[in-house]
């Protein structure tokens, strides 16, 4: 009996330790045009390039407003705890190559590409919205944009606990995304090359992409709830990131930095006790409601 008990400890202990420590996943390898662009140097062509001094200037009132909504889970985390590559310098070969790629997208983007990308530009969440506001339902639905095809039950009405939970996650994410934007202050690609016609007006820094970051965050969290749909979640996030490039408002390296940030951010969440407690409640909701009701 003692031998059997010892064997069970050896088998089960790793699972127990994993549960205590939470989930930590590695970032999947970079691919496609994101990988190909890494062959170009991200460094300045010379020390005398005037464009390298250009930064996006955010007024202090905006900074104060964005930083006012502090994290609810990652309260002890600082922005420098996230390890992102530096944004390619404005005069660098990589920036030029990225803009050339965006110009190619501009040349070949179709009316449907534009329509879908502009639709996705409105997929975000406002932390200041309140129940009863005319936009409240729309913002809540936006929390379920990533993975929207996995079931008719995948919505804030069927999964209210999940909606509240993801809203809290977005609050944490927004704090750090804005912190990174203020830190890097990267100008938009159309500021460098006026041949690039952006299809959306933006009044904040480029690096990293907030749309892409929040989408990958949702994908990585929903992945843990429905791993059989991982490909769907990640594809939806990839499409969101690419839509920002189609519109000409983000460099590909903005998208890739967002993917890197999202993986680190979600890994940190899964080491957080308060997050894990709320995540268990979400899992219980999914166990009860994440299925079709064919009796209606």
Domain residue ranges in the chain: 2-289
Choose among 273, 224, 218: nearest CA to 73. Answer: 273
- pLDDT at residue 21 above 60? no
Q: What is the mean pLDDT of residues 23-38?
A: 97
Per-residue pLDDT of 79-120, as tens digits, reads 999 999 999 999 999 999 999 999 999 999 999 999 999 999
Two structure tokens written together for 293:
């009701």
Of 15-29, 75-89, 168-182, 273-287, the least confident:
15-29
- pLDDT at residue 13 above 60? no
Rg over alpha carbons for the chain, rounded to the nearest Å, is 21
Residue 46: predicted pLDDT: 86
Q: How far apart are alpha carbons 178 and 162 in whole angstroms?
A: 24
- pLDDT at residue 12 above 50? no
- pLDDT at residue 17 above 80? no
Of 33-37, 44-48, 175-179, the least confident:
44-48
Residue 160: strand, helix, or coil: helix
Residue 20: predicted pLDDT: 39
Residue 84: predicted pLDDT: 98
pTM for the model stands at 0.92
- Of all residues in the chain, the percent with pLDDT exceeding 90 is 89
Q: Is omega for the bond preceding 95 within 30 degrees of 0, making it cis?
A: no
- pLDDT at residue 14 above 50? no
CATH superfamily of this structure's domain 2-289? Phosphatidic acid phosphatase type 2/haloperoxidase (1.20.144.10)
Check residue 110 and report its DSSP letter: -
Q: How far apart are alpha carbons 101 and 250 in whole angstroms?
A: 11
């Amino acid at each position: 009996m003692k031998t059997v008990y010892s064997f069970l400890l050896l088998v089960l202990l790793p699972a127990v330790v994993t549960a205590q420590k939470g989930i930590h996943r590695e970032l999947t390898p970079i691919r496609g045009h994101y990988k190909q662009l890494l062959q170009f140097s991200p460094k300045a062509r010379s020390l005398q390039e005037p464009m390298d001094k250009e930064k996006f200037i955010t007024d202090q009132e905006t900074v104060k407003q964005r930083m006012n909504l502090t994290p609810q889970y990652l309260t002890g985390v600082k922005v420098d705890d996230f390890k992102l590559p530096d944004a390619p310098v404005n005069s660098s070969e990589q920036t030029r190559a990225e803009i050339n790629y965006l110009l190619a997208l501009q040349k070949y983007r179709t009316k449907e590409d534009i329509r879908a990308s502009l639709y996705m530009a409105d997929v975000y969440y406002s932390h200041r919205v309140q129940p009863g506001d005319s936009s409240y339902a729309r913002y809540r639905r936006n929390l379920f944009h990533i993975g929207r095809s996995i079931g008719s039950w995948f919505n804030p009405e069927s999964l209210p606990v999940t909606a509240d939970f993801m809203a809290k996650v977005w609050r944490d994410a927004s704090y750090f995304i804005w912190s990174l934007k203020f830190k890097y202050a990267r100008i938009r690609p159309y500021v460098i090359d006026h041949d690039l016609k952006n299809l959306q007006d933006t009044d904040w820094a480029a690096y990293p992409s907030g749309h892409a970051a929040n989408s990958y965050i949702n994908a990585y969290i929903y992945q843990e709830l429905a791993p059989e749909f991982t490909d769907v979640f990640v594809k939806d996030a990839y499409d969101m990131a690419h839509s920002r490039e189609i519109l000409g408002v983000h460099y590909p390296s903005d998208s890739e930095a967002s993917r890197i940030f999202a993986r680190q951010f979600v890994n940190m969440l899964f080491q957080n006790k308060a997050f894990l407690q709320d995540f268990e409640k979400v899992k219980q909701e999914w166990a009860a409601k994440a299925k079709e009701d064919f009796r209606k």
